[in-house]
Structure 1
């Protein structure tokens, strides 16, 4: 989550450069991240490198004090997309994702607005984030009914400790050809294997930062530390790092087309990108699935 605080601009540029050098071409952000500063930094970082990149961003969250400065109404979506384009310093967004379901706006209004923006050339593809299975199904049905471009991807919380989306979202995504893009796949950094359950996370660590997205509350417990210990054992047996095992496991799931991995150092990029080449043996996958 670039823009201020935990990762400064200089380090953020080096992380993005390392990602591009390693062959990564998908950069995901959102207008709400650091009040737009993350998009601004990404815009500066990709200057002169835009071709070949897939830039994804998200909109929904409050970006001002006004009643129309949030949500998925026509007014806010148009304004949010234009503001994201300005901050990203680009004339189109490859994947524009609605960050949350909006119970106050008919999904038909949102889809019609997004399709208008597609026709204007401001958006290439549409996605959603944090939708329940029924919300995704309703959105897809509405798109079919109206003859509109539909969501092609969904971003959701998913990792070895939190696998609830396997039951309903995975089958729906596979049936409808929707790519699943999970976030928090490393459980806020817990799957690096560097944290001690008996001690508070270091003050300069991601887990202790305000940018961790509630990861400590969500993952800092006995069950997840036992899971991490098993992943560390598996990694040692196979000659990999725990993060590589966790990412390889995640990428083995058929609906998953990409993963969101936050990195604060270039060397983390180099290490994590190797996970796409790892093919875990069936018995290892069975063991990890049982945790």
Structure 2
């Protein structure tokens, strides 16, 4: 297992993070899993034994049950340097202030998460989604307060747009508040939209990147194939709708390439998809999830899989998306003065 610095911090995290959305099975989360303490502990132990040092959850997963199960497993004095990341922002009750990124909600949510997880500190506290109604000054002050109180060590965001992140970083710098060390985003071979703004921002601003649903909810696992029925037991069979697929033919071309490379290497398509991400510039860690030991064992093996340059090129080419404006214009007229962050997106298009 490799360990990388999380953004502009001295904290090192494993290139694979364990996701816990399958813990609990309450409400909408039952679609993805309903593991109890006993089954979840086996998977947590398996990941820790493999070198994973970051466990990611959120208060909204099973309405707090995921955090509670995690607390039953690793609550109290933590061993093996295990780090806990959780998130807040979504509704956790019927009240008008039981959601959002206000000072009221974030402080209340943090204290509730600490209690559920039976810990006195959250290593990485992330805003789960953008809140366009709360001033960022209030949000960043609340997060800064939690760090200064010793309840949180680092802060991050998730599912923000580029301008959201830059505005937040600007507020932190101006007001001398704690700044985000990371962003948690959706980024896969099928969904490379993050390369437009989010990946370049991470490179330019030294933000770590944690990737949720790195095999697209199982769509890139090799179980789903062109012109075949959706397999029983999968998220899609249960009605899960993320991520949205806008070009099915492109998806199946990507899957076909993944399977061809995987068969040639004697590994799974999921391992190839994960290894491609782990090797992408700016990426810190991919968050894997599942319901069985077999799924985790397979995904964990991707930490040691190194793709060849030729394999990477095949995957890059089959999944490359056309440049949006203003990037196609920058490719045509500004290629003489592009930064490293610019080239993360535009570079592959310069020879085309």
The bucket for the TM-score relative to the shorter chain is over 0.9
User: Following TM superposition, by how much is the alpha carbon of 1:199 offset from its aligned partner in structure 2, in angstroms?
Assistant: 4.3
Which residue of structure 2 lines up, in the alignment, with residue 155 of structure 1?
184
- Distance in structure 1 (CA, Å) of the matches to 2:76 and 2:84: 14
User: Following TM superposition, by how much is the alpha carbon of 1:20 offset from its aligned partner in structure 2, in angstroms?
Assistant: 1.2
The CA deviation string for residues 123-168 of structure 1, in whole angstroms up to 9 with x for no partner, is 0000000001111011111100011110000011110011011122
- Distance in structure 1 (CA, Å) of the matches to 2:247 and 2:118: 38
Q: What value does the CA root-mean-square deviation take over the aligned residues?
A: 1.7
Structure 2 segments unaligned to the other structure (5+ residues): 1-20, 319-352
Which residue of structure 2 lines up, in the alignment, with residue 143 of structure 1?
172
Map 1:215-226 onto structure 2 (within 5 A).
215=242, 217-218=244-245, 221-226=248-253
Q: Say how many residue pairs are matched.
A: 289
Which residue of structure 2 lines up, in the alignment, with residue 253 of structure 1?
280
1:265 to 284, 292, 295: 292
Map 1:1-291 onto structure 2 (within 5 A).
1=21, 2-4=23-25, 5=30, 6-9=33-36, 10-47=38-75, 50-51=78-79, 52-209=81-238, 212=240, 214-215=241-242, 217-218=244-245, 221-291=248-318
Q: Tell me the secondary structure at the aligned position of residue 161 of structure 1.
A: coil
Question: Which deviates more from structure 2 when the two are superposed, residues 16-25 or residues 191-200?
Answer: 191-200
User: Following TM superposition, by how much is the alpha carbon of 1:280 offset from its aligned partner in structure 2, in angstroms?
Assistant: 1.2
Q: Tell me the secondary structure at the aligned position of residue 127 of structure 1.
A: strand
Q: Tell me the secondary structure at the aligned position of residue 286 of structure 2.
A: coil
Asked if structure 1 preserves the Cα contact closer than 8 Å seen for 2:225 and 2:255, the reply is: no
Asked if structure 2 preserves the Cα contact closer than 8 Å seen for 1:22 and 1:270, the reply is: no
Structure 1 segments unaligned to the other structure (5+ residues): none
Q: Tell me the secondary structure at the aligned position of residue 124 of structure 2.
A: strand
Q: Classify 1:131/1:279 alpha carbon distance in 2 versus 1 (closer, same or farther; 3 Å).
A: same
- Distance in structure 2 (CA, Å) of the matches to 1:155 and 1:8: 23
Question: Which deviates more from structure 2 when the two are superposed, residues 94-103 or residues 44-53?
Answer: 44-53
Using structure 2 for the length normalisation, give the TM-score.
Answer: 0.78
User: Following TM superposition, by how much is the alpha carbon of 1:55 offset from its aligned partner in structure 2, in angstroms?
Assistant: 0.5
Q: Classify 1:97/1:216 alpha carbon distance in 2 versus 1 (closer, same or farther; 3 Å).
A: closer
- Distance in structure 2 (CA, Å) of the matches to 1:202 and 1:279: 29
- Distance in structure 2 (CA, Å) of the matches to 1:189 and 1:255: 23
Q: Tell me the secondary structure at the aligned position of residue 175 of structure 1.
A: helix
Q: Tell me the secondary structure at the aligned position of residue 57 of structure 1.
A: strand
- Distance in structure 1 (CA, Å) of the matches to 2:187 and 2:64: 25
The CA deviation string for residues 161-209 of structure 1, in whole angstroms up to 9 with x for no partner, is 1101112221211111100111121111122212244444344223323
- Distance in structure 2 (CA, Å) of the matches to 1:191 and 1:11: 25
Asked if structure 2 preserves the Cα contact closer than 8 Å seen for 1:208 and 1:216, the reply is: no
Asked if structure 2 preserves the Cα contact closer than 8 Å seen for 1:57 and 1:97, the reply is: yes
